[in-house]
Amino acid sequence: MLRAFLKRFGLWPTVALLTLASVLVSVLVTLMFNGGSVDSTGVRIAILVPCIVAPLFSSQQLRLIQQLERAHEELHRLSITDELTQTYNRRHFMQIAAQHLAQARQGKGLSILIFDLDDFKTVNDRYGHLIGDAVLAEVCRRCALSLRPEDVFARYGGEEFVVLLPATGYHEALEVAERLRRVVVERPVEAEGFSIPVTISLGLATQRSPHQGLDELLNRADDALYQAKQQGKNQVLG
């Protein structure tokens, strides 16, 4: 309860609450040990002592709680995030996708996109891996800004990425895929003084029945991506 109050209202309101509680407890204890009556000096002492001691003690403890909470949140973020692209990592994506698939079996449906950067090996070979990393990060930044809040975006491996589109049919998913393709190709990536044209190819798979599993959807999207590569790249198939 204290942690929830601290998280919602902040440090000093929580310190004030604890101080007030300490004063009430101090007054009650003083009354108990004095048979229910106490002079004005005793009351002042009962109020003054916790007002001095409680803020000093509680503020230190609450700061420690805040630091531990922030450290825990950061560790959790690192455990589910790809460091370079700031997308989800593959493990976390699979966990979220399984949850969405269970909901999709209730009739909501979903679609999956898999895409990768066309000829990315050439970028690495020509400009080096540091610039290649910058290209990956910029492409992901553009794509993330073009997705909806409910979409799940993750690095699937290397230069390959996956997007889960909850409650999304084929035509709407196709629009999302085309939007991603356009936002990447519309202008080159600027990195270390180089202007690097980039395109992506995308494979799309939409759930056809509630019984289709995640592996089947991913395989279909991956097959569609392969066909997009074979048929000229910089396109969406599915």
Task: Just list the catalytic residues.
Answer: 159
**Token pair of 144, please?**
């993330």
Contact of 120 with 159, CB cutoff 8 Å: yes
**Token pair of 2, please?**
């204290």
Asked whether the CA dihedral 35, 41, 44, 47 is positive or negative, the reply is: negative
Rounded to a whole number, what is the distance in angstroms from the first to the last CA of the chain?
A: 50
Sequence-ordered strand ranges (E) for the chain? 110-117, 152-157, 160-166, 189-191, 194-196, 200-206, 236-237
Contact of 132 with 120, CB cutoff 8 Å: yes
